[in-house]
Amino acid sequence: MKSNNRLIAAAAFGILLIAVSVAVIHFGLYGLTLFIALPAALGALGSWVIKAQSTGTAIAAGMTANAIACLGFLAWGLEGITCIFMAMPLALPLGALGGWLAYAATHKRALAQGTAMLMFLPVGLGTMGFDLTAKPHVFQVRSSIEIAAPPEKVWNNVVSFSELPPPSEWYFKTGLAYPMRARIDGRGPGAVRYCEFSTGPFVEPIQVWDEPRLLRFSVAQNPAPMTEWSPYAKVLPRHLHGYLISKQGQFLLTPLPNGHTLLEGTTWYQHGLWPETYWTIWSQAVIHGIHMRVLVHIKNLSEAEG
């Protein structure tokens, strides 16, 4: 009887976790509930279901439960492979923690009947409250390169540039959006620059045109940051639109004593994913990679002109 009750309780809790997961994704809450509370609760459930008899078994069960859940997101078409890969470094350790907590709690007599699982309810309510009210911060990425040409020659290749060669970097072959070319409509403040990516154009109204020193622009339109890999023809999770947003950018050209130019590209952006510190590691790396693809191309064009 106790075994049957345990299975019923596990099934009910599992269904609840699935429902919460689908709900937070449906409403676009890519926050602490999805990436912290749920992995820990899934880990606890995995440990509790198998009646883990050691710390190692509990940790393994917690991690396994989260790996199965990630495969479920892929199978149901809720996420693609790349995003699941990026979430795994969060999900697996938190699953291990949840498995260990459930094991430690159920070895106390007062919690031996499964009430240990209830400790995750206030955590989930707290993270949900945070997710509903949290506002994303603005982050900055700055990248630079030295170009063997004066600013006057570099400037035109900054304002617009020809087709880039296909990307050789492995990370752009995982579906991440990459720059292909840039063109401009008009000159001076009020002109509109179009930086065309593999997923669509960034539309960039010019704010500052200080030739040949500074080009600063706002971003009126952002394309999707990536194309998801999936067993299905097309997967469109909500985080592909309105979560990784460029707000403003600039190119700064500084003349160097040797006649070269120090070209700095800066992007100000937001992402609506929490924990912010973790997801910022990924976003900073991706944006820096995009910067360097553009800066190297500008360098090659400018130096080839002689």
pLDDT of residue 110: 47
Measured between alpha carbons, how far is 171 from 286 in angstroms, rounded to an integer? 8
Helices (H) and strands (E) in the chain, counts: 8, 7
What is the rounded average pLDDT for all residues in the chain?
Answer: 86
**CATH code reported for the domain at 139-304:** 3.30.530.20
pLDDT of residue 216: 98
Percent of the chain with pLDDT strictly greater than 90: 56
Measured between alpha carbons, how far is 64 from 289 in angstroms, rounded to an integer? 33
pLDDT of residue 15: 59
pLDDT mean over 36-61? 88
Residues 6+ away with beta carbon under 8 Å from 253:
151, 154, 155, 158, 212, 213, 214, 261, 262, 263, 264
Q: CATH 3.30.530.20: which residues of the chain?
A: 139-304
Token output for 170: 């492995």
pLDDT of residue 303 exceeding 90: yes
Measured between alpha carbons, how far is 147 from 141 in angstroms, rounded to an integer? 20
Return the higher-pLDDT residue of 132 and 279.
279
The segment with the largest mean pLDDT, out of 40-44, 73-77, 190-194, 232-236, is 190-194
pLDDT of residue 233 exceeding 80: no
pLDDT mean over 16-25? 66
- Name which of 1-5, 24-28, 80-84, 207-211 the model is least confident about: 1-5
Model pTM?
0.87
Percent of the chain with pLDDT strictly greater than 70: 84
pLDDT of residue 125: 66
Return the higher-pLDDT residue of 216 and 30.
216
Rg (C-alpha) for the chain, rounded Å, is: 24
Ramachandran assignment for 187, one of left (phi > 0), alpha (psi -120 to 50 degrees), beta (any other) = beta
Q: State the pLDDT confidence band at 63, using cuts at 50, 70 and 90.
A: very high
E-strand spans in the chain? 139-147, 179-185, 192-197, 200-210, 214-218, 244-255, 261-271
pLDDT of residue 19: 65
